Amino acid sequence: MAIPSRIVAMQGDMATVEAFGKLRHVSLMLLSEPVATGDYLLIQAGGFAYERVEHERALETLALLATIVDHAPA
């Protein structure tokens, strides 16, 4: 399952993304459409973004995942 990650900075074909307070550096080389700071992406193993996710859908998914994590046994 991929977690939507928000672009917080971009430089060339690389971006810094954030999800649940964690920052990662990812490659944008596999994307077929332009992206901008604030967009949400899905990231595959190896650190490559492969799909842009609509803002509302990303927020819905993040809220659902936060609920699941909050209810997980310790």
Cα separations (Å) of 16 from 33, 45, 60? 17, 15, 21
pLDDT number for residue 45: 86
Average pLDDT of every residue of the chain: 92
72: pLDDT strictly greater than 70: no
- Per-residue burial over 2-32, b if 16 or more Cβ lie within 10 Å, else e, is eebbbbeeeeeeebbbebeeeeeebbbeebe
Q: What is the pLDDT of residues 19-54, one digit of tens each?
A: 989 999 999 999 999 999 999 999 998 899 999 999
pLDDT of residue 2: 82
Asked whether the whole model's pTM tops 0.85, one would answer: yes
